Structure 1
Amino acid sequence: MVGLCTDLLHTCTTFGRVMNLKPDTAPTAHFRRQHLSTEALEKLAETAVETNLSKGTVLSVWMPMKKFKLTDGTSLTAENCKKWGAYFLKHRREEFEELQKLYAAVWDDLVYFPAGKEITYEDSWMFERSYGGKRRHEGCDLMPPENESGVYPIFSMTDGIVENIGWLDKGGWRIGIRSPHGGYFYYAHLSDYASGFQVGQKIHAGDIIGYMGDTGYGPEGTRGKFDVHLHLGIYVRTEKHPEISVNPYWILRSLESRRLTYHLSEP
């Protein structure tokens, strides 16, 4: 009886979450945080294989069940994924399909970690920044073992098309790549580019796109305002919101086994 009551309570709770799915989920803090855990990442990879579904599709089912916050993977099973996916499509098709597109944009084109094995990073999402006025850090910083510019290569995490390239006051030399499912991957503070990339050019996952640097925080050519690092930003878009940042930290964690080997460039 206790088990039955627990199941009914879970069903009612999840039904309530499904019925309250918003038609525009992207701007919500829950979605933007993309908060998982090591256990959740392992379960995500396992369930995607078992169900033959993409990680984005699995997450679009799982997130509403867990209030868009994944701190464990205990409820994520292949059976639940199929069951609740069908349920969401039946009762909230439009909202659920929009949610699937958002998660696909973040997760379904990922192939490689953007830097080598010696590069470190931490979850600095929404840390305070002051250059250009008080603001929040909408990305993740990846740090090299030595503060040397032009040495450590940056790899494209996805296939895609170069959408933006050149100087930005805050980002220095940067490149922005739009992946096939619509995610925008932004690599900033580069020392230089690996080649003469042009807007509209095709990029393949694993291509070297540039090298870690310390450019930015001033007019074109400004260097040395901070330590050498890569700022990685990941963005999604909707009809109402052309640019919404999401936390790259757990996305990077999911790619730990996909770090590429390379030979260091001479500074």
Structure 2
Amino acid sequence: MNKAYLKKFLFMLILCIAAALLTSGLRYSSHILHNLNIDINDNAFRNMDITCTYDELVNAADAINADKGQLMTICTCLYDGKISYDNLKKITRPLYVRISNYLNRTQADKFRQQKKIYNSILNDIRYFPVPRSDKRYEWVNYVNSWNNARTYKGNRTHEGTDIMGDINKDGVYPVISVCDGYISNIGWLELGGWRIGITSCNGIYYYYAHLDSYYRDYKPGDKVKAGDIIGYMGSTGYSKVEGTKNKFPTHLHFGIYIISDTKTEIAINPYNILKINENNALIYSY
């Protein structure tokens, strides 16, 4: 076998292998596309299983010239809601474009809504809801208690994160608004005690419950800025009697709710969103 023939043979062999790999990859990609599904009611989305940092998300999006919310939506679809830096880096620019085009053709409204929600939360939250103190080391602690069982007023699941004060004393820790927005709900709730609900400029609802007191006489419609003190951490609630307290340790119940296109209120897990913003805690004098 002469050298010219051998080179030609090897060249053709490489072309055949490349074609086979490309065909296989396209078939695999098509299979992935047909199994993609967007549903903001699904646990894959509501769990908010975000383990990357904000900087890692920005780096992954910038690397492929992607919209952050759109990239997170695609990652949620591909990896069952697990938005890790490793999973984000697996999404190449061609894959990002192909999946985006497919979802815009087949699930345009759902695709638009979910990426808008991700972007809204990223843009909304500027600070952790409990500032650090300039006078003491003790701060707060919290765990992922999403969907844990609750029994007061019947069997139900926990729709938020309980931020516990290291100092178990009502009225010590100020609670601040994490975002710009307006007061949409305020007053006593049997479950939540003294609570405030703030709707952001992007339409996301942030819920602060079990407050010991309010910072001032807020009214529905009052505007607030990110970082404004809205009240103080307490232990109120679990009673129809206003002012009932001390049925549980001092803490802030922090919840995040989105409104679907059908006007349904849907709770999402705040835990990892809080973790991402923990380093954005302000320092206040208390």
Fold shared, TM-score > 0.5 on shorter chain: yes
1:110 aligns with 2:131: no
> What are the residue-to-residue correspondences of 1:1-16 with 2, within 5 Å?
4=22, 7-8=25-26, 10-16=28-34
After TM superposition, the structure 1 stretch with the greater mean CA deviation from structure 2, 175-184 or 114-123, is: 114-123
Deviation for aligned residue 1:164:
0.1
Alignment CA distance shift 1:96-1:148 (3 Å): same
Moved more, 72-81 or 98-107: 72-81
* Pair 239,83 (structure 1): closer, same or farther in 2 beyond 3 Å: closer
| 1:105–1:236 Cα contact (<8 Å) kept | no
Q: Residue 108 of structure 2 corresponds to which residue in structure 1?
A: 93
1:262/1:87 CA distance change after superposition, 3 Å: same
Matched, 1:232 2:254: yes
Output the aligned Cα RMSD. 2.4
CA contact (8 A) 1:165 1:173 kept: yes
What is aligned with 1:174? 195
Mapped contact 1:193–1:209 kept (Cα < 8 A): yes
Structure 1 residue 26 corresponds to structure 2 residue 40: yes
Tell me how far 1:41 sits from its aligned partner: 5.5
State how far apart, in whole Å, the 1-side matches of 2:92 and 2:214 are. Answer: 43
- Kept in 2, the 8 Å contact 1:172–1:188? The answer is yes
Q: CA deviation at 1:88?
A: 2.5
| Letter of the structure 1 residue corresponding to residue 34 of structure 2 | G
Aligned residues: 259
Q: Secondary structure at the match of 2:71?
A: helix
Which stretch of structure 1 is more off in the superposition, 55-64 or 126-135?
Answer: 55-64
Residue 163 in structure 1 maps to residue 184 in structure 2: yes
Comparing 115-124 with 62-71, greater Cα deviation is found at 62-71
In the alignment, structure 1 residue 67 sits paired with structure 2 residue 70: no
1:34-73 to structure 2, matched below 5 A, reads 34-37=48-51, 39=52, 43-50=56-63, 55-71=68-84, 73=86
Find the counterpart in structure 2 of residue 141 from structure 1.
162
Q: TM-score, normalised by structure 1?
A: 0.86
Task: Give distance in 1, aligned partners of 2:110 and 2:231.
Answer: 38
Partner of 1:122: 143
Output the CA distance in 2 between the equivalents of 1:257 and 1:48: 21
DSSP-derived class of the 2:108 partner:
helix
Q: CA deviation at 1:67?
A: 2.5
Q: What residue ranges of structure 1 are gaps of 5+ in the alignment?
A: none
Identical amino acids, percent of aligned pairs: 36
Cα 1:153–1:160, aligned 2, differ >3 Å: closer, same or farther?
same
1:184 aligns with 2:208: no
> Max radius of gyration: which structure?
2
In the alignment, which residue of structure 1 is the partner of 2:275? 253
| Residue type of the alignment partner of 1:221 | G
Judged with a 3 Å threshold, the aligned counterparts in structure 2 of structure 1 residues 91 and 135 are, in CA distance, closer, same or farther, namely closer
Cα deviation per residue 1:105-161 (whole Å; 9 max; x = unaligned)?
443311111113422111000111111111111100001111011111111111111
Contact 2:60 2:85 (8 Å CA) reproduced: no
Give the partner amino acid of 2:227: G
8 Å contact 2:57–2:85 — kept in the other structure? Answer: no
- Normalization by structure 2: what TM-score? 0.81
Q: CA deviation at 1:65?
A: 1.9
**Is the 8 Å Cα contact of residues 183 and 197 (structure 2) preserved in structure 1?**
yes
Q: 1:203 & 1:51 partners in 2: Cα distance?
A: 36
Pairing partner for 1:17 from 31, 35, 39: 35
Instruction: Work out the CA distance in 2 between the residues paired with 1:54 and 1:199.
Output: 34
Unaligned runs of 5+ in 2: 1-16, 133-138
Residues of 2 paired with 1:6 and 1:232: CA distance? Answer: 47
